Amino acid sequence: MGEHPSPGPAVAACAEAERIEELEPEAEERLPAAPEDHWKVLFDQFDPGNTGYISTGKFRSLLESHSSNLDPHKREVLLALADSHADGQICYQDFVNLMSNKRSNSFRQAILQGNRRLSSKALLEEKGLSLSQRLIRHVAYETLPREIDRKWYYDSYTCCPPPWFMLTITLLEVAFFLYNGVSLGQFVLQVTHPRYLKNSLVYHPQLRAQAWRYLTYIFMHAGIEHLGLNVVLQLLVGVPLEMVHGATRIGLVYVAGVVAVPGSLAVSVADMTAPVVGSSGGVYALVSAHLANIVMNWSGMKCQFKLLRMAVALICMSMEFGRAVWLRFHPSAYPPCPHPSFVAHLGGVAVGITLGVVVLRNYEQRLQDQSLWWIFVAMYTVFVLFAIFWNIFAYTLLDLKLPPPP
């Protein structure tokens, strides 16, 4: 029997993590690993007497021999979990569980921790923090429902890269709005200006063959009242989400809300004669995903005044949607073309509570390992393909009379 090694730093990390929070048990699932019969062959090599047990020392030797195939953090945590067996032995089932990662969410979180030591007290109890540290802590409590995730984010966030995606989009939207306002001599309800639709960025049903318009319409807003709410929500909700989940994931949700289901493609199917302007599709996708994540993890979310803030967010979104509906049916400034559609707002919610929720619920986990992710991606792809064929054939088959180009 091999000697029982002294516990390494990973033991403390794992033990601290388990004391911080008992995560809800998940259905056991096998992460990508070698088949179980392969582990049986390896186990028998270290258990020639068929006792059903091997020493932790032999297990360490086995891990060392396979170290080139294991992530260093993962190897350290596996060793720590092996060392936690007080009797110095590992049975066959524990061996298979360790080697195949057949563990609950707490096991995967322990792997993430590696040899990083976590404090046992909550982040809110930390004293003497600098302004930047308090900001990072605030973002963690705003977006993450589990204390162990909040601590990991707080320890690992470096602000490199910064939340460049949301800031860049916001600056571009403001710049285009100011330029357009100076050109038209109008900042409030710009959309009512007779020359508004002549801008080459606006999505217009008669010009739908110009593919760039399916994306560039986000830089055109109906007026300062439209731009103002979108900018506020992008900065207050989008920037913290990007700080936690990264530009790639948040950009994916935002662009998905802009281009397809809630955006220009959806309008081309549901409101075929109307133009589209504004970034509301992307904004509503992010905000809806965030609000849905709070509701689904209500007890774990520790942001202050969450009920009041949710109510304020919903009231603001409802007011903006009401403005869009009123404007759509208001007498047009450029008949026979109607004012811009409001369908983008509704679809933004659809993307947020599907793709968006999957993204926000899986902090530091691979989306491609989530079955719901692939289900929603498949649904999204089917809609996009349907909308493309609809745009090619439906207008002719329905003999729809479109407004003339601006």
Domains by residue range for the chain, with CATH: 38-113 (1.10.238), 125-160 (no CATH), 164-398 (1.20.1540.10)
pLDDT of 354 reads 86
d(CA 164, CA 169): 8
Closest CA to 402 of 201, 210, 202, 268: 268
Residue 394 token pair: 């439906």
Q: Which of 40-49, 128-137, 202-211 has the lowest mean pLDDT?
A: 40-49
Q: What is the pTM of this model?
A: 0.68
What sign for the dihedral angle of Cα 365, 22, 15, 95?
negative
Residue-wise pLDDT tens digits, 267-314: 878 888 889 899 998 999 999 999 888 888 887 787 777 888 888 888
pLDDT of 68 reads 58
Q: pLDDT band at residue 4, thresholds of 50, 70 and 90? A: very low
pLDDT beyond 90 at 45: no
pLDDT beyond 90 at 171: yes
pLDDT of 84 reads 56
Is 280 among the residues known to form the active site? yes
Q: How many CB atoms lie within 10 A of CB 72?
A: 10
Residue 121 token pair: 């007290």
CB 214 within 8 A of CB 259: yes
d(CA 280, CA 286): 10
Residues facing 54 on adjacent strands: 90
Which segments of 89-156 does DSSP mark as H helices, in order? 92-100, 105-113, 131-143, 147-156
Residue-wise pLDDT tens digits, 68-119: 565 444 455 556 555 555 556 666 666 665 555 443 344 444 444 443 433 4
Q: pLDDT band at residue 140, thresholds of 50, 70 and 90? A: confident
The distance between the two most distant Cα atoms of the chain, rounded to a whole number of Å, is 89
Mean pLDDT of 34-42: 59
CB 361 within 8 A of CB 296: yes
pLDDT of 254 reads 93
pLDDT of 175 reads 96
Burial of 111 (0-12, 13-18, 19+ CB in 10 A): buried
Instruction: Provide long-range contacts, Cβ within 8 A and 24+ apart, for 265-269.
Output: 265/214, 265/383, 265/384, 265/387, 265/388, 265/391, 266/343, 266/344, 266/347, 266/387, 267/203, 267/341, 267/343, 267/344, 268/205, 268/208, 268/387, 268/390, 268/391, 269/386, 269/387, 269/390, 269/394
Residue-wise pLDDT tens digits, 230-277: 999 999 999 999 998 889 999 999 988 887 654 567 787 888 888 989
Q: How many CB atoms lie within 10 A of CB 376?
A: 20
CB 263 within 8 A of CB 253: no
Closest CA to 177 of 190, 164, 167: 190
Query: pLDDT averaged over the chain?
Result: 76
pLDDT of 93 reads 62
Q: Which of 280, 288, 290, 341 is catalytic?
A: 280
d(CA 388, CA 391): 5
pLDDT of 234 reads 92
pLDDT beyond 70 at 16: no
pLDDT beyond 90 at 182: yes
d(CA 204, CA 134): 46
For 53, the enclosing helix (H) or strand (E) is strand 53-55
What is the 3 state secondary structure string of 270-310? HCCCCCECCCHHHHHHHHHHHHHHHHHCCCCCCCCCHHHHH
pLDDT of 82 reads 58
Closest CA to 286 of 345, 337, 365: 345
pLDDT of 94 reads 62
- DSSP code, position 236: I
pLDDT of 177 reads 95
pLDDT of 226 reads 92
Is 85 among the residues known to form the active site? no
pLDDT of 164 reads 94
